[in-house]
Every structure is written in structure tokens, then in C-alpha cells.
């Protein structure tokens, strides 16, 4: 059987991949050939039980490339260093500020390059970088005002993955509070100044430019509409941290007499191109506002666990109409399979019931819905016309061996890990081959060197 391709403008086939097994959205299909032309899937052929001449064999389960919808690349330098002792989100934040203060455009490029390479090794083909580290120490702008953002774009290119740079407005320390000394590097002082700088960023190719409101405590209410309008005029993604901590809800109620969700709704921030990140502590009205507006929700379970945030109402949000996506956020681990199963398993703990999402639904959150949240609705599917972004996991590792192939989607979500990724393909290019990055030969050493350079 061959799925009929859409018109391709006559682009020649530049690569052919043969998947021993592929997830086609509803089922696992053995023997699938994917022809690539112009960075897109030109044709999908099934029932091909051996690699055709010239095809690259992908042995295992081939999935659409994964989307890491929420990332702070510089947090990778914090891995494990924050695990000593006790504390809260707010004490963790002080450690994060210290690392942010040390970065330069060069060290940020090296750290992000290695972090994005780790993502490629984990099967991630696109990342949403929630970027607020804009300026030099003390808030002094760089000669190139977007030196830090441009470093991230270049790092993703070198690592071989796509990036949606979510340039973030971060203007205040809290309701009615000026930025503290740590946050001066983040602040453009006003939303208008933020918009002027962000407008200088250029996308194209592997990079899209979007926007973010850091949070309702970091962008004064009267300036939210400016950020929302900037994104709306460009039809760009708009993301926002939402109700990650109850302290934010309490402060918003004291300042404005409403929840953060209601404040965002009243200032035009919510909508189908908007994604709310975390959404951990919501009222029933908040859930209705997000769902009825079509606002997406990005859950980051490994970070929400790590920071003791709580378990967000993901199932209720989806029932209300909010599409779900996933992110590794602070990069305590980078593993979208873990994020997917954590969302289900955390909901089981909260409700003491099983089976809130099927494996298919969790894979969709980790791929198609995540890509859509990043402004790439053409990615996340193995079908003609879609972006040729793929990842293949082994079905013969100690974690995945045993189940019959038709259960491979369940194996991927509930047993596999990033360590099982064998191949990653982005726009038809083989970025990870047999578990090795083709552009950065020693990713562990690149990470070690980059982190050491940050701390000096």
C-alpha cells in the first residue's frame, strides 16, 4: 500500500528511509518506506519487509520527531547541583540566578549547543526555547542587542535541531516591583522596548521567532497587551508561565483581585496560538477559560516534581479543550518519554485511577501537539507532506525487549527512555545515527566542557 503524496513541486527524492516498524498515528506498521524530498515526507509505502536498494535502515520503532515545547537551555548547568539539601522553588531560583549571572554569548552558545545535541540524542527534533537572558551584566545591552538569542539560534543549527526562540518579556520582580539585581539582565524595562528589540530577531530555515510573557508577576498588567499584539501581528506562538506556584496566585489576587488566568484573559493573552506552561494551581474557572479559548497547556512533569510544584490538572484541561504538550524545562533530565509517562502516572497518583491517556494520546502530546505549539503544525506525523522529522527507538534493549511489535507504542511511552533512541532525522538529514551524534562526536565531553566553562 502507498499513501498518496501531495503535490511536491517536482522536488527530487533526496533520501529514503526504511523503518522496520513505524507508528502511523493509530497503529504500529511493519516494513514502512519513507521517501524524503525538500525536507518533507514525499511518500509513505507500507508492506515493504526489507530495505530497498539505497534506503537507510531504521531498525526498531520509528516515531515522528519529538517536540520539547519548553526549555531553558542554561538550566542544564544546574543538573544535580541543586539536589543537595532541601528548599522550595524560591530557594532553587536563587541558584538559577547565580548561573544566569555567569553566562556570556560565547559560553551560552557552547552550553546550548551541547544541550541541544543531548536533545537530538533523546529523539527531540524541535525545541521551544523560553529565552529571557537578553542583556549583559547589570542589564547593559550588548552591542548586538540579541547576541544571546542569536547564540541560541546558532547552537540549535549546529546541533541539527529546529528551534522556536520564544523571546521573553521579563520586566519586573513582582507586582509593582522593579527588577532585582539578578533580573536586570532579563529586563528591557518596558514592553515597547522589548518589542523593539525582539523585532530585530530573524528566523528562517531551522528557526522560528515567537514571544513569551514570563509570568503575570514579571510583566505589568498594563503591558501584557503589547506582548500579545506583537505575537498576534506576526501570527507567532506566544507562551507564558502560569500559576506554577500558589504564591503567584496569592500575589495576583492581592494586586488585581483575580487569578493569573483571568488577568491574562482580560488583557488578550489567551487564544489558540498561546501555550500556558505548568498551569499547576488552577481554579475551575481558570480551566474553563483556558479550554474555551483554545489555549494550549505545556506540562513539564520532571521539573514540576523536581521543584515540588505540584500536579497540574492536565486531564481536566484537555477535557475543557486545551491541547497538551510536554517540555523538559529545567533539564533535570532530558527525556520526552519520561515526561509523557510522568503525566499519566502523576495523574494516577492524584486520582488513584489508571488509564487517563492512551499511548497514542501521549505520543501526540510529545510530538504533533508540541510541534503545533511551537508554530510547526506540519511536523509530528509520518505522512506525505509532513516535515521529515523522525526518531527511532530500539526494541531490543533491556527496557524494551520482550513485548510483541504491535505493542511498541506502549513500550515507547511506558518503558523506553532517551537512552533507547538510535536514530534522529531532521528535515531528512540523519542527525543521530546508531546512537551517535553525526555533528558533535562526543556530546558528553561537550556538555562537561561547557558546564565547566560556565562556572569558570
Catalytic one among 329, 335, 369, 420?
329
Who's near 309: CB < 8 A, 6+ residues apart? 89, 244, 245, 278, 280, 303
First to last CA, the chain: 58
Sheet with strand 296-299: strands edge to edge: 66-71, 124-131, 162-169, 207-213, 238-242, 274-278, 296-299, 324-326
Of the listed 241, 278, 281, 331, which one is catalytic? 278
C-alpha–C-alpha distance, residues 383 and 377, integer Å? 13
278 is catalytic: yes
Instruction: List 436's β-bridge partners, or say none.
Output: 433
Contact criterion met (CB below 8 Å) for 46 and 2:
yes
Name, in order, each residue with C-beta under 8 angstroms of 380's C-beta and a sequence gap of 6 or more.
Answer: 64, 65, 67, 364, 367, 368, 369, 370, 371, 372, 386, 387, 389
Kind plus residue range of the DSSP H or E element containing 449: helix 443-455
Alpha-carbon distances of 138 from 130, 171, 172, 183, rounded to whole Å? 21, 14, 14, 9
Total Cβ atoms within 10 A of residue 95: 13
How far apart are the C-alpha atoms of 188 and 172, rounded to whole Å?
10
CB 55 within 8 A of CB 16: yes
DSSP state of 75: G
Q: Contact, 375 vs 402, CB < 8 A? A: no
Which DSSP symbol is given to 183?
Answer: G
Strands (E), 101-252: 124-131, 162-169, 207-213, 238-242
The conformation of residue 86, written as its DSSP 8-state character, comes to: -
Q: Judge whether 329 counts as a catalytic residue.
A: yes
From the number of C-beta atoms within 10 Å of its C-beta (0-12, 13-18, 19+), residue 420 rates as: buried
Question: Is 265:290 a contact under the CB 8 Å cutoff?
Answer: no
Q: Residues 423, 433: contact at Cβ < 8 Å?
A: yes
Residues with catalytic function: 278, 329
Amino acid at each position: 500500500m502507498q499513501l498518496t503524496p501531495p503535490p511536491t513541486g517536482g522536488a527530487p527524492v533526496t533520501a529514503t528511509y526504511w523503518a522496520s516498524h513505524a507508528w502511523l498515528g493509530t497503529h504500529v506498521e511493519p516494513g514502512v518506506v519513507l521517501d524524503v524530498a525538500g525536507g518533507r515526507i514525499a511518500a509513505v509505502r507500507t508492506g515493504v519487509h526489507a530495505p530497498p536498494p539505497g534506503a537507510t535502515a531504521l531498525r526498531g520503532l520509528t516515531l515522528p520527531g519529538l517536540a520539547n515545547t519548553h526549555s531553558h537551555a542554561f538550566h542544564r548547568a544546574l543538573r544535580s547541583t541543586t539536589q543537595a539539601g532541601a528548599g522550595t522553588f524560591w530557594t532553587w531560583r536563587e541558584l538559577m540566578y547565580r548561573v544566569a549571572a555567569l553566562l556570556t554569548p560565547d559560553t551560552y552558545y557552547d552550553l546550548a549547543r551541547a544541550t541541544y545535541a543531548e536533545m537530538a540524542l533523546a529523539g527531540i527534533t524541535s525545541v521551544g526555547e523560553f529565552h529571557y537572558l537578553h542583556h549583559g551584566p547589570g542589564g547593559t545591552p550588548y552591542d548586538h542587542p540579541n547576541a544571546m538569542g542569536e547564540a541560541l539560534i546558532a547552537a540549535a543549527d549546529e546541533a541539527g535541531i529546529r528551534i522556536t526562540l520564544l523571546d521573553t518579556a521579563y520586566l519586573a520582580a513582582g507586582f509593582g516591583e522593579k527588577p532585582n539585581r539578578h533580573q536586570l539582565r532579563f529586563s528591557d524595562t518596558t514592553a515597547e522596548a522589548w518589542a523593539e528589540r525582539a523585532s530585530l530577531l530573524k528566523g528562517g530555515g531551522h528557526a522560528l521567532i515567537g514571544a513569551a510573557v514570563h509570568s503575570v508577576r514579571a510583566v505589568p498588567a498594563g503591558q501584557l497587551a503589547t506582548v500579545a499584539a506583537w505575537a498576534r501581528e506576526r501570527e507567532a506562538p506566544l507562551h507564558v508561565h502560569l500559576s506554577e506556584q500558589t504564591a503567584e496566585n496569592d500575589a495576583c489576587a492581592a494586586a488585581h483581585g483575580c487569578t493569573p488566568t483571568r488577568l491574562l484573559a482580560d488583557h488578550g493573552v489567551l487564544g489558540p496560538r498561546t501555550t500556558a506552561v505548568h498551569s499547576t494551581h488552577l481554579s475551575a474557572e481558570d480551566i474553563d477559560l483556558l479550554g474555551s479559548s483554545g489555549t494550549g497547556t505545556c506540562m513539564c512533569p520532571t521539573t514540576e516534581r523536581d521543584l515540588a510544584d505540584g500536579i497540574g490538572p492536565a486531564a481536566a484541561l484537555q477535557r475543557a479543550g486545551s491541547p497538551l504538550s510536554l517540555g523538559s524545562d529545567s533539564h533535570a533530565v532530558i527525556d520526552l518519554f519520561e515526561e509523557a509517562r510522568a503525566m499519566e502516572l502523576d495523574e494516577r497518583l492524584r486520582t488513584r485511577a489508571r488509564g487517563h491517556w492512551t499511548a497514542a494520546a501521549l505520543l501526540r502530546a510529545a510530538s504533533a501537539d508540541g510541534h503545533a505549539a511551537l508554530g510547526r503544525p506540519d511536523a509530528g506525523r509520518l505522512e506525505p507532506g509532513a516535515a521529515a522529522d523522525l526518531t527511532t527507538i530500539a526494541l531490543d534493549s533491556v527496557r524494551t525487549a520482550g513485548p510483541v511489535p504491535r505493542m511498541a507504542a506502549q513500550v515507547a511511552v511506558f518503558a523506553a527512555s532517551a537512552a533507547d533512541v538510535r536514530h534522529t532525522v531532521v528535515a531528512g538529514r540523519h542527525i543521530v545515527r546508531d546512537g551517535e551524534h553525526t555533528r558533535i562526536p562526543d556530546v558528553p565531553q561537550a556538555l562537561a566542557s561547557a558546564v565547566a566553562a560556565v562556572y569558570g
